[in-house]
Amino acid sequence: MARILVADDEQKIREVIKEYSEFNGHEITEADDGMTAVGLCKLNEYDLIIMDIMMPRLDGFSACKEIRKTCDTPIIMLSARGEEYDKLFGFELGIDDYVVKPFSPKELMARVNAVLSRHNPDLKPAEQVMRFDGLEINIPARSVSIDGEKVELTPKEYELLFYLVENKNIALSRDKLLSDIWGYDFYGDDRTIDTHIKNLRNNLGKYRDYIVTLRGVGYKFEA
């Protein structure tokens, strides 16, 4: 488990990063401006910092300069600007990676784990293998098996099943599923979720009933 500081003035983005980071077994602290981020770094030790450039009180570049005066914690910079100048300036300040908004949460997590592995090989996502009767779901290995036989799912079906299982027994609205799995910048409708749920149930065969429809709300994995 890694301790990660997420500094961004957009609450929705912080929530998405927090959810995916915790899904990967990490612990999250939040800051909504650069000044708060610098203050937290003076009081605590973090394994990684994810920081937006455009923030109130103190921008990400300035916050990075201040943080680098006291620690060498790896930093991933977020920005809605993808200009080469911004990227080069960030790397000159000592950041480890640069991600342009809007971003895929899954890609960001891949970059997070890559940076953590480079700086501390001992920090790896928590092992997550779950069994429900004859249904076995191995999240790190991205594999699903039924009564010992491996089941092939599409990438989105894997993500949908993993998310449902990680939030088992919790009612999840279609909007939340769209936002958290397809991304906050995805433009789709309820039919996208319903179609994937139908296909996922077909692939789960006799264990399809673990995925419960909540009329007028959405779905949940009931175990």
* DSSP run (H or E) holding 61: helix 60-68
Alpha carbon distance 50, 189 (integer Å): 30
Q: What is the pLDDT of residue 102?
A: 86
Task: Give me the mean pLDDT over the 57-79 stretch.
Answer: 93
Q: What is the pLDDT of residue 110?
A: 83
Q: HSE on the CB side for 9, CA within 13 Å?
A: 13
pLDDT in tens, 205-223: 999 999 999 988 899 999 8
Nearest Cα to Cα of residue 106 among 159, 146, 29: 159
Domains of the chain: 3-119 (3.40.50.2300), 129-221 (1.10.10.10)
- Rounded percentage of the chain residues whose pLDDT exceeds 70: 92
Q: Could you tell me if 209 and 223 are in contact, meaning their C-beta atoms sit under 8 angstroms apart? A: no
pLDDT interval class at 187 (50, 70, 90): low
The percent of the chain in helix, strand and coil, each rounded to the nearest 5, is 45, 20, 35
pLDDT at 184 over 60: no
Q: What is the pLDDT of residue 185?
A: 52
pLDDT in tens, 78-126: 988 777 788 888 888 889 999 988 888 888 888 888 888 887 766 555 4
